[in-house]
């Protein structure tokens, strides 16, 4: 099958409008009718747009920051032979019938949309290409670790199950952001998608399904509560002293604060999943199938029991 | 400088909170939340060790980067989701039988 790329000859479109490869693909016809290449604006907005002083100043360098508007050799060859006339800046970007060229949107809106991603701190936050943790400000770690710890404490000390779910949301979100600092961006995404988007929603549904009043309080006696908190605190302190400090040899800073080695990519994760961890991956798939069937079966319950329960109630 | 000990400390705190949650809640779903906290603490530990375990060791030229900790963490996330689904199914069944989610009432689950 052959794709014939035809560029419709619109006299309204300025002949010197830049076309990158994607733009030419957008305008490509596959032996079909011409695609619409304009976005309608109501006439009133069109007039106001015409009265505007001019396009944003970023348009002066359309191909500078984001690489939009650079013409490829193909489009240059396609553009060759067209009449090139100097056009007014309004005439260049607004058609006579009140329609705005899509190129205008691509050239003027895309820089504003893509601008945050060109900033250094966002790239550091997303942990792209950062071999060490040094670019990450410590206060960012403390911020998200504080969110996670406060959420966990809220889970412990809250007595209402719905509030516990909300606090758990904060903890999971904070831990997901900490994964960014650990250069585990994929795991952070998985954490947000599976935990926050899946497991937590499941838990909230469980809360709603298992209580007539979602703010019901099921409290334990104060003595048992204090005992539980004490055991939790003791476990934390035990892990801190035995784990962290013994691992550090009693000296703060003995644990590594900097990792070497090259940064892995998503491809390494995929190779490991399909190579070294192929069997666990398959087992996880089988487990998920079994869990899906089993959860549906268990949650449904036996029909006799359900009928009996309805008869009692 | 943020190092491994920071993440281990955070993980220890999360684990302690999860254990205390398990011990002090009577709501079965609250206990499930405590389990999720503990699993998250384990995940933080695994990812942090994976991140910092390259330090000092001479990386073999051409060898693929080690992502074993991330693999473990991913499987733990999968298992946590499966465990939550099964646990909630059991809790729903329990709620159908006893009309409550209080685990103090779960002393005669077998019959």
Interface test with B, best of A186, A205, A236, A251 (most B CBs within 10 A): A236
Highest mean pLDDT, choosing among A27-31, A133-137, A163-167, A204-208: A163-167
Residue with more model confidence, B60 or A218: A218
Partners of residue B68 on adjacent β-strands: none
Q: Is B102 helix (H, G, I), strand (E, B) or coil?
A: strand
For the CA atoms of B28, B29, B31, B37, what is the dihedral angle to 10 degrees?
170
Structure tokens at A81: 């032979």
Please list every residue in chain A whose beta carbon sits closer than 8 Å to the beta carbon of residue B92.
Answer: 206, 209-210, 298-299, 301
pLDDT value at A167 more than 90? yes
Q: Do A198 and B81 touch (CB under 8 A)?
A: yes
pLDDT greater than 90 at residue B83: yes
Residue A14 lies in a domain: no
Residue B80 confidence (pLDDT) above 80:
yes
Residue A126 and residue A191 in one domain: yes
Q: Is residue A49 part of a domain?
A: yes
Q: Which domain holds residue A309?
A: 275-313
Q: Is A111 in the same domain as A25?
A: yes
Which ipTM value was assigned to this complex? 0.90
Note whether A127 and A197 are same-domain residues.
Answer: yes
Residues of chain B contacting residue A149, judged by C-beta atoms under 8 Å apart:
10, 13-14, 17
Query: Are A60 and A72 contained in the same domain?
Result: yes
Residues A29 and A54 in one domain: yes
pLDDT band for position B26 (50/70/90)?
confident
- Structurally, how many domains does chain A consist of? 4
Distances (CA, A) of B76 to A23, B42, B70, B72: 44, 9, 10, 6
Say which CATH class B4-54+65-105 falls into. Answer: mainly alpha
C-alpha pair distances (Å), B57 with each of A47, A251, A259, B5, B43: 67, 20, 9, 18, 23
Residues of B in contact with A171 (CB under 8 A): 14, 37, 40
Return the sign of the alpha-carbon dihedral for residues B73, B75, B76, B82.
Answer: positive
User: Measured between beta carbons, which residues in chain A are less than 8 angstroms from residue B21?
Assistant: 155-156, 164, 232
Distance CA A14, CA A92 (A): 6
Q: Is A29 within 8 Å of A35 (Cβ atoms)?
A: yes
Predicted confidence (pLDDT) per residue in A11-25, tens digit:
454 444 444 444 444
Residues A129 and A201 both lie in one domain: yes
Size of interface A-B (CB pairs under 8 A): 272
Instruction: Give yes or no for residue B56 having a pLDDT over 50.
Output: no
* Conformation bin of residue A140: beta by default, left when phi > 0, alpha when psi is -120 to 50: alpha
pLDDT value at position B7? 87
Q: Residue A182 maps to which CATH number?
A: 1.20.120.1200
C-alpha–C-alpha distance, residues A35 and A6, integer Å: 11
Of A199, A191, A156, A71, residue with least CA distance to B17: A156
Q: What is the pTM of this model?
A: 0.64
In a domain, A3, yes or no: no
CA dihedral (A301, A307, A308, A310) in degrees, to 10, reads 110
Across A2-16, A136-150, A198-212, A224-238, least confident range: A2-16
Whether residues A113 and A125 share a domain: the answer is no
Residues A131 and A146 in one domain: yes
**Confidence grade of residue A81 (pLDDT, cut at 50, 70, 90):** low
Rounded average pLDDT over A221-231: 90
User: Average pLDDT, stretch A286-308?
Assistant: 80
Largest CA distance in chain A: 89
In a domain, A8, yes or no: no
Pairing of β A99-101 and β A38-40: antiparallel
């Amino acid at each position: 099958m052959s794709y014939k790329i035809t560029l419709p000859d619109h006299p309204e479109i300025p002949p010197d409008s830049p076309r990158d490869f994607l733009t030419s693909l957008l305008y490509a016809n596959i032996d079909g009718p011409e695609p619409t290449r304009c976005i309608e604006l109501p006439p009133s907005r069109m007039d106001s747009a015409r009265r505007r002083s001019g396009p944003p100043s970023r348009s002066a360098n359309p191909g500078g920051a984001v690489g939009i508007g650079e013409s490829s050799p193909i489009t240059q060859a396609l553009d060759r032979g067209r009449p090139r006339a100097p056009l007014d800046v309004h005439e260049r970007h607004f058609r006579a019938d009140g329609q705005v060229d899509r190129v205008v949107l691509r050239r003027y809106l895309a820089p504003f949309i893509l601008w945050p991603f060109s900033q250094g701190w966002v790239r550091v936050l997303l942990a792209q290409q950062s071999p060490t943790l040094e670019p990450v400000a410590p206060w960012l770690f403390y911020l998200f670790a504080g969110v996670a710890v406060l959420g966990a404490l809220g889970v412990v000390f809250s007595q209402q199950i719905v509030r516990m779910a909300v606090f758990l949301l904060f903890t999971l979100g904070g831990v997901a952001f900490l994964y960014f600092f650990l250069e585990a961006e994929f795991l952070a995404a998985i954490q947000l998608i599976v935990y926050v988007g899946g497991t937590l929603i499941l838990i909230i549904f469980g809360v709603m399904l298992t209580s007539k009043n979602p703010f019901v309080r099921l409290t334990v006696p104060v003595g048992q509560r204090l005992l539980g908190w004490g055991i939790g605190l003791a476990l934390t302190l035990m892990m801190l002293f035995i784990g962290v400090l013994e691992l550090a040899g009693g000296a703060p800073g003995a644990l590594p604060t900097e990792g070497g080695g090259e940064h892995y990519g998503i491809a390494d994760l995929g190779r490991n999943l399909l190579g070294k961890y192929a069997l666990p991956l398959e087992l996880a798939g089988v487990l998920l199938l079994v869990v899906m069937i089993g959860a549906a079966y268990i949650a449904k319950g036996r029909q006799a029991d359900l009928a009996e329960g309805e008869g009692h109630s | 400088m943020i190092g491994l000990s920071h993440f281990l400390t955070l993980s220890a705190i999360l684990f302690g909170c999860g254990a205390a949650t398990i011990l002090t809640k009577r709501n079965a779903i609250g206990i499930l939340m405590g389990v999720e906290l503990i699993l998250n603490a384990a995940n933080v530990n695994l990812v942090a060790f994976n991140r910092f375990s390259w330090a000092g060791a001479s990386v073999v030229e051409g060898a693929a980067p080690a992502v074993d900790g991330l693999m473990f963490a991913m499987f733990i996330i999968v298992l946590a989701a499966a465990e939550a689904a099964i646990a909630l199914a059991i809790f729903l069944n329990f709620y159908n039988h006893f009309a409550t989610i209080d685990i103090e009432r779960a002393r005669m689950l077998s019959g």
